[in-house]
Amino acid sequence: MNITAPTFEWLELAPVLIVLTAAILGVVIEAAVPRAYRLVSQVGLMVVSLVAALAVLVENFVSQRSGTLVSASMVLDGPAYLAWAALLVFGLLSMLLFAERRLGNGSTAFAASAAAVPGSVSESEAAVAQHEHTEVFPLALFSLSGMLVFAAANDLLTAFVALEVMSLPLYLLSAMARRRRLLSQEAALKYFLLGALSSAFFLFGIALVYGYAGSFGFRDIATSIGAPVYGDGLLLTGMGFLAIGLLFKIGAVPFHNWVPDVYVGAPSPVTGFMAICTKFAAVMAVVRVFYVALGAERWSWQPLIAAIAVLTMVVGVVIAVAQTDIKRLLAYSSISHAGFILVAVVGASVGTAAGASSSLASIVFYLVAYGFATVASFAAVTMVRDAAGEVHSITGWSGLARRNPFLASVVALAMLSFAGIPLTGGFIGKWAVFTAAWRGGYSWLVAVAIVASVVAAYVYFKVIIAMFFGEPVAGVEVGKASGFTLVPLVVGAAATLYLGLFPGQLLDLATAVGTFLR
Amino acid sequence: MTIPWLTLLGLVPLVGAASLLLPVKELSRVLGMFFGLLTAVLAIVVTTLYVGGAALAEQVPWIPAFGAWWALGLNGMSLLMVVLTALLTPVVLLAEWKLPNAGRWSPQVFVALVLFLESLSLFTFMADDVLLFYLFFEATLIPMYFLIGGFGGERRAAAALKFLLFSLAGGLVMLISVVGLGVVSTDLGGTPTYLLAELAKLPIGAELGRWLMVGFLVAFIVKAPMVPVHTWLPTTAEQATPGTSVLLVGILDKIGTFGMIKFCLGLFPEASLWVAPVMVILALISIIYGAVAAIGSTNLLRLVAYTSISHFGFMVLGIYTFTTVGVSGSIFYMLNHGFSTAALFLVVGFLINRRGSAMVADFGGVQKVAPILAGVFLMAGLSGLALPGMSSFVSEFMVLAGAWSRQPWPAAVAALGTVLAAVYIMLMYQRTMTGPVTEASATHITADLNAREKWVVAPLLAIILLLGFVPGIALDLVNPTAAATISHVGAPDPVAPFGGEGK
């Protein structure tokens, strides 16, 4: 038996490798650099590495490097480029929030000593000594590297490994909130247990599909669907299990139960990171698995995903109506957005030569618009504070426009984008996914999605009403933030507006390069 | 290089709104008025150019992936709407000059929102691309929402939400159709396009066309409040400031009837003929119901809102008669109603400012304490009931004539509406203005109209009278549009078009 050594396409892989190396260097910094300099060196390393990765990515793109990587276990094609660029940008923006110290009077949003029992002496000692967990940066970078691989994985095994690399650091990060630590730890445990369960489903799905196709590779699976050796049973069951694992990560109903609790319990910067980057990577993986590997079988999975999309949108928006906590509201909103994205996934429409946008282009645009609005809203969440830390109740946000019109306007813009009101990126995003679904023959799904949008609008306008028309609540202040929070806030708002007014470039780019390399 | 007049016209108020983000404080009203007047002047320039036959249309690719264009253009109808918008905005700014700085939101925000709204409305009326139209159509909700929610009565936040949810629901139903239209254009033509001119040529199947048309129509029915989806308007008008109501009823709601002509008739002629009987009945219900509800209203602002619902019934009736006279009359009605409702709302606003209440029962004998106020109130009211000599008479007559030439019975029912109009206006005048001076009126209404207030109503009444005596200046612009629409729909005209009367 001959085993050929895999070839490494170093240049193509460079963005992933840079992020991974930075993560490892970050661990070294924890061991070698004195406490006082750790934060600054971690932030510096993070920014430099992500910018460098982005630069290499752009270089690769301009030089038109593409193809399968590492013996076809990964693939660098148009969608992978788009996903990587977006993940690096959103990763950078949300990790900047990790470094904010001015808002918390000199301490970050993370526990002084996560290992100490909440309320114990050692915890207060660590707090007095102003310890802080700068490990969050390498952890997030590890997670980000997993996401990059996940979005470009070309076989199921690579996808699974990437999924775990992406998830494990997130479980840890979720447990590290400085305030309300028990809630945070509970959230992390819940996330971990459910995440492990979903991974098990995913793994089982991999086994079944392997049994059917005799290979993990997406291309081989697609080939064997065309010329089946075994009956459909293995494939369909395997497909179902794969779907469970993937849909769990994007927070689709009925696999969404972890989302609200984890979003609330985790430190807000981490929630922002999860809400954008995890969702982005997972959606890209969903699209790749279902389009590339299982594309020939789409008559089987389309009804299933359509049903899940309906459930996700409806449950997401209806439960969001009843929320009184801004982070829970954002959590249910993120669930409903997963539903809207699935609407486009179901459409599975391809672009036309004349330049009509494809499902993939619409999904990418939707995610980017959602990402910028999410960055801005989580940056805002960290800024509204009272004596006990962040204020999460929507009644606490009442009258925010009078305390700080700028912040309230940014939040309003993000909410309008979530609601899909024109002049924001969210509107064009909705338009794109609806067009994709309709073109795929799912006009009824578009109708359902639009009904859900009306309900969703009510949810977001509730926040706007509170901020603009409510009376200010005593004790709630808008904290003085440093650039680490203000940059993501302003960039998120500006990009939301830009995408609403000039969506052409991104849409055209996504349409032009949005074909999978099979 | 040619000057993009239409883009310029829409951008001027937007620049004005943006300039009000600066801390100009006391100057905000002056600055707002400057930009409002500048827009009005530009609108007049554009009108002159249009009449002179200049090519004003603009067309630049915007989102190629959807086939959307930055396409602006004018026809007779949209020109009138543009002029209406540009003239009403400075009037509203002047009327709300003394908007109290009631703690929460400063007048500066009001002025900025009004200008922002003006810009969006202008673009809505000028858009020749369905996606562009939809974008601005929906975007107008944002400033209007804040105008209602930020300034006005106690329960304004709830009113703003009600307005928003109704409009948004209607708009999103339309979104289904617009998305569908894009897909259909790709299927039929190969390339996606949202250009109105291209879409009108597509051979859309009968059944699909009907479905798509209904989507558009739902949004427009909600917008031009027709019974039974009108309930948001009285609530909103009651809570909003009169200036906001003028913008809402005078300008924004016109997008409903405007859209019926431009999009429903323009894109789906067959489907529009198919739906006509339903629309005629809905229009008649609106006419009668609005008038009866106005008679029964105890609140002046609600009353004026209900009269508008009745008037919108007339406009819709005119459109769905499918006669050149009817459609012309309907378009002219849109213009006249803008001015006469503005006059009514603003004069009622002056009354409420003095008395501190909007209830009809709280007034009495005002004409003895404030004769000029009572006089302009009567004039505005008479314009609302379409007295001959007022511009609204011409348009109402044309609508009725158009309806009669198609079928007599709807015209007969609608004529009943004109009688009821006389009842609600005269009853309102009698209850508030005539009779002995009540104690409350004597204590609260101490001053007649001041100079500013006179300057608010004077131009409105002047325009109403001018158009009443020389309707030809507007009808000459409207008739070609109406004739083109009717010939596009393909319904034979039962009577010869007219419109030269009064010249």
The answer to whether residue B123 scores a pLDDT higher than 70 is: yes
Which of A366, A416, A423 would best serve as a mutation to test chain B binding (most B beta carbons within 10 A)? A423
- Return phi, psi of residue A357, to 5°: -80, 150
pLDDT digits (tens, 9 = 90+) for B342-382: 999 999 988 888 888 888 888 888 888 888 888 999 999 99
pLDDT digits (tens, 9 = 90+) for B188-222: 877 888 888 888 888 888 888 899 999 999 999 99
The answer to whether residue A353 scores a pLDDT higher than 50 is: no
| Cβ contacts of B424 within 8 Å, gap of 6 or more | B291, B294, B295, B303, B306, B307, B385
- Report the number of distinct structural domains present in chain B: 1
Q: What is the pLDDT of residue A316?
A: 93
d(CA A488, CA A493): 8
The verdict on residue B503 lying in a domain is no
Give the N- to C-terminal CA distance of chain B in Å, as an integer: 38
Please enumerate residues of B whose Cβ is less than 8 A from a Cβ of A: 61-67, 104, 131, 134-136, 138-139, 141-142, 145-146, 149-150, 156-157, 160-161, 164-165, 168-169, 172-173, 175-176, 179-180, 182-183, 186, 190-192
Residues 418-447 in A contacting B (C-alpha not used; CB under 8 Å): 421-423, 427-428, 431-432, 434-435, 438-439, 443, 446-447
User: Among B72, B78, B41, which residue's Cα sits nearest to residue B55?
Assistant: B72
Percent of chain B with pLDDT over 70: 96
User: Among A440, A203, A445, which residue's Cα sits nearest to residue A299?
Assistant: A440
Over residues A124-147, the mean pLDDT reads 90
Q: What is the pLDDT of residue A429?
A: 93
The reply to whether residue B66 touches residue A469, judged by beta carbons under 8 angstroms, is no
Mean pLDDT of the residues in chain A: 90
How many helices and strands in chain B, by DSSP H and E? Answer: 23, 2
Can you read off the two tokens belonging to residue A14?
A: 């460079």
Q: What is the pLDDT of residue B104?
A: 64
Which of A469, A498, A508, A513 would best serve as a mutation to test chain B binding (most B beta carbons within 10 A)? A469
The HSE-up count of residue B94 (CA atoms within 13 Å, CB side) is 22
d(CA A269, CA A383): 11
User: Among B105, B103, B87, which residue's Cα sits nearest to residue B148?
Assistant: B105
Q: Where are the beta strands (DSSP E) in A190-318?
A: none
d(CA A317, CA A453): 8
Sheet holding A389-390, edge to edge: A389-390, A384-386, A477-478
**Chain centre distance of CA B138:** 16
The answer to whether residue B498 scores a pLDDT higher than 70 is: no
**Cβ of residue A453 closer than 8 Å to a chain B Cβ:** yes
Q: What is the pLDDT of residue A18?
A: 96
Contacts of B182 in chain A (CB under 8 A): 435
The verdict on residue B182 lying in a domain is yes
Contacts of B165 in chain A (CB under 8 A): 454, 457-458
pLDDT digits (tens, 9 = 90+) for A78-132: 899 999 999 999 999 999 999 988 888 778 888 888 888 888 888 888 888 888 8
Q: What is the pLDDT of residue A131?
A: 83
Chain B nearest CA to A454, separation (Å): 6
CA distances (Å), origin B190, targets A342, A343, B183: 26, 23, 10
Q: What is the pLDDT of residue A163?
A: 95
H or E element that contains B115: helix B107-126
Q: What is the pLDDT of residue A354?
A: 47
Contacts of B66 in chain A (CB under 8 A): 356-357, 431-432, 435, 507
Q: What is the pLDDT of residue A93?
A: 95
Domain locations in chain A as residue ranges = 10-513
pLDDT digits (tens, 9 = 90+) for B236-260: 998 888 889 999 999 999 999 999 9
Over residues A295-302, the mean pLDDT reads 86
Q: What is the pLDDT of residue B501?
A: 43
The reply to whether residue B179 touches residue A434, judged by beta carbons under 8 angstroms, is yes
Q: pTM of the full predicted structure?
A: 0.90
Contacts of B149 in chain A (CB under 8 A): 465, 468-469
Residue of A nearest to B184 (CA): A439
Q: What is the pLDDT of residue B62?
A: 87
Q: What is the pLDDT of residue B337?
A: 92
d(CA B299, CA B362): 10
pLDDT digits (tens, 9 = 90+) for B440-472: 777 887 788 888 888 888 999 999 999 989 888
Which of A363, A365, A450 would best serve as a mutation to test chain B binding (most B beta carbons within 10 A)? A450
| Cβ contacts of B13 within 8 Å, gap of 6 or more | B35, B36, B39, B89, B115, B116, B118, B119, B122
User: Among A136, A141, A139, A12, which residue's Cα sits nearest to residue A88?
Assistant: A141
The answer to whether residue A465 scores a pLDDT higher than 90 is: no
Q: What is the pLDDT of residue A165?
A: 95
Over residues B255-268, the mean pLDDT reads 91
pLDDT digits (tens, 9 = 90+) for B483-496: 888 888 877 666 55
Confidence band for A1, pLDDT divided at 50, 70 and 90? low
Give the N- to C-terminal CA distance of chain A in Å, as an integer: 27
Can you read off the two tokens belonging to residue A513?
A: 């390069």
pLDDT digits (tens, 9 = 90+) for A168-222: 999 999 999 888 889 999 999 999 999 999 999 999 999 999 999 989 999 999 9
Can you read off the two tokens belonging to residue A454?
A: 């009306």
Q: What is the pLDDT of residue B499?
A: 46
Range of the domain at B321: 5-489
Chain A nearest CA to B193, separation (Å): 9
The verdict on residue B357 lying in a domain is yes
Chain B nearest CA to A480, separation (Å): 22
d(CA A209, CA A212): 5
Residue of B nearest to A450 (CA): B172
The answer to whether residue B185 scores a pLDDT higher than 50 is: yes
The answer to whether residue A37 scores a pLDDT higher than 70 is: yes
Mean pLDDT lowest among A230-234, B280-284, B347-351: A230-234
Over residues A152-167, the mean pLDDT reads 94
